[in-house]
Amino acid sequence: MKPETLAVHAGNHPDEKTGAVIAPLITSTTFLRNEEGGYTSGYQYGRSSNPNRTSLENVLAALENGADACAFSSGVAAGMTLFQALEPGSHILAPDDMYHGLRNQLLQVFAGVLSVSFVNMGDVDAVEKAITPQTRMIWIETPSNPLLKITDIKALSAIAKKHHCLLACDSTFASPIFQKPLDLGADIVLHSSTKYLGGHSDIIGGALITGDKSSFWQKVKNFQGLGGAVPSPFDCYLLIRSIKTLPWRMRAHDENARKVAAFLDAHPLVETVFYPGLPTHPGYNIAREQMTGFGGMLSFLVKSGEGAAKALVNKTKFFTQATSLGGVESLIEHRYSVEGPESKTPKNLVRVSVGLENAEDLMEDLRQALEG
């Protein structure tokens, strides 16, 4: 099956009992025991597993060409479970522009338990030099937030294998439609399903997908239940529903973002546009090789500086000023003020999640906000 078919069918099977074409929502927290005390259905207790969650994990694993998946109540809970499964004392290499929530998690929640070095993942030699005997995981995020930097997954997979480290890839910006990190040599993929998988800005969720059911993965799966940061059955049900349109939504996000990126790139009041689909972007060639689309995220620097960038995000009509991404509605934000004073993000940077409105309307909106 191809992605469009998997998206529709891998997470849903008609209900045999009722004939319902859409699998029902099962909210029960507990499941019947039989005479021997066993569990005939395979389900026991809602934190350990739930039929809607199993269906969600099935479609996620299928879309990433993975062997298994674990769904969580948020993207950062997925990351946390992965870090918890590492032995205390392990060292992690992470990108110098890592998603700030996970960066803060490593520095605050895992302080004294795990050590981390932040490196430029675009510099393969620097990555290899940063590996120590304690390094157990290389964490990459591509495209990255908010500069849309591209990391060469195949090259980093070779380094990870050579040094017996796991390669984990936060592939949230690409979605499983435009990038399949497991096929390129990554061991584990993370998604914040709050973003494109959910697609409608109304679910917080996360997921991990593995290439093989290693003993490390068994530990992750065990910790999913023991940690308990699991999504509700209704959130799983909604995500399965959203994923059915994911391939077509991604195509439209990509089509619109290419137009918006080209428009901004040509505008005299814009200094630089960061979009991997622009041939001038430093990651363009790698993106073309490892992705089948460039996605709907971009950022740009406003020529007149921070004040102008902050004013711009207040002037748009169709781009709503809010953080997050991946929904059908376009969002815009002054990124530095979201990330806080530790942030390395340029102060005149505006980040945009290009939605599914008409591209002409979106470009006109940005034009009037830039020039107005």
Determine if 142 is a binding residue for ligand PLP (CB under 6 A).
Answer: no
Contact window for ligand PLP (CB under 6 A) among 71-79, 126-134, 152-160, 310-318: 71-79
Task: From the candidates 47, 219, 241, 367, give the one annotated as an active-site residue.
Answer: 47
Residue 91 is encoded by which pair of tokens? 């060292």
Contact window for ligand PLP (CB under 6 A) among 57-65, 72-80, 148-156, 364-372: 72-80
Task: From the candidates 152, 170, 235, 365, give the one annotated as an active-site residue.
Answer: 170
What are residue 334's DSSP bridge partners?
A: 350
CB distance 66 to 210 below 8 Å? yes
**Which residue from 68, 82, 98, 92 is spatially nearest to 173, judged by alpha carbons?**
98
Count of residues binding ligand PLP (CB under 6 A)? 16
Task: From the candidates 43, 53, 68, 99, give the one annotated as an active-site residue.
Answer: 99
Told to judge if 249 belongs to the known catalytic residues of this protein, a careful annotator would answer no
Told to judge if 170 belongs to the known catalytic residues of this protein, a careful annotator would answer yes
The string of DSSP letters for 288-357 reads HHH-S---SEEEEEETT-HHHHHHHTTT-SSSEE-S---SSS-EEEEHHHHH-TT--S-TTEEEEE--SS
**Which residue from 263, 266, 262 is spatially nearest to 277, judged by alpha carbons?**
262
Closer Cβ to ligand PLP, 99 or 336, answer by number: 99
Determine if 172 is a binding residue for ligand PLP (CB under 6 A).
Answer: yes
Determine if 74 is a binding residue for ligand PLP (CB under 6 A).
Answer: yes
Cis bond before residue 143 (omega within 30° of 0): yes
CB distance 71 to 11 below 8 Å? no
Neighbours of 188 (CB within 10 A): 28
**Shortest reach from residue 301's CB to ligand PLP, in Å:** 20
**Which residue from 51, 94, 101, 40 is spatially nearest to 75, judged by alpha carbons?**
101
Determine if 145 is a binding residue for ligand PLP (CB under 6 A).
Answer: yes
Determine if 149 is a binding residue for ligand PLP (CB under 6 A).
Answer: no
Determine if 194 is a binding residue for ligand PLP (CB under 6 A).
Answer: yes
Alpha-carbon distance of 72 to 269, in angstroms, equals: 42
Task: From the candidates 53, 103, 136, 195, give the one annotated as an active-site residue.
Answer: 195
Determine if 204 is a binding residue for ligand PLP (CB under 6 A).
Answer: yes
Distance, C-alpha 181 to centroid of its chain: 12
Determine if 195 is a binding residue for ligand PLP (CB under 6 A).
Answer: yes
Told to judge if 99 belongs to the known catalytic residues of this protein, a careful annotator would answer yes
Closer Cβ to ligand PLP, 152 or 365, answer by number: 152
Q: Which of 12, 151, 192, 299 binds ligand PLP (CB under 6 A)?
A: 192
**Shortest reach from residue 193's CB to ligand PLP, in Å:** 7
Alpha-carbon distance of 326 to 321, in angstroms, equals: 14
Alpha-carbon distance of 270 to 58, in angstroms, equals: 43
Determine if 103 is a binding residue for ligand PLP (CB under 6 A).
Answer: no
Determine if 76 is a binding residue for ligand PLP (CB under 6 A).
Answer: yes
Told to judge if 123 belongs to the known catalytic residues of this protein, a careful annotator would answer no
Backbone angles phi, psi at 167, to 5 degrees: -110, 115
The interface mask with ligand PLP, positions 231-270, x = CB under 6 A, is ----------------------------------------
Residue 50 is encoded by which pair of tokens? 């739930």
Contact window for ligand PLP (CB under 6 A) among 61-69, 103-111, 170-178, 328-336: 170-178
Determine if 90 is a binding residue for ligand PLP (CB under 6 A).
Answer: no
Alpha-carbon distance of 139 to 344, in angstroms, equals: 19
Chain residue whose CB lies nearest ligand PLP? 75
Q: Which of 146, 181, 206, 346 binds ligand PLP (CB under 6 A)?
A: 206
**Which residue from 165, 187, 166, 191 is spatially nearest to 176, judged by alpha carbons?**
191
Q: Which residues bind ligand PLP (CB under 6 A)?
A: 74-76, 99, 101-102, 141, 145, 170, 172-173, 192, 194-195, 204, 206
Give catalytic residue positions: 47, 99, 170, 195
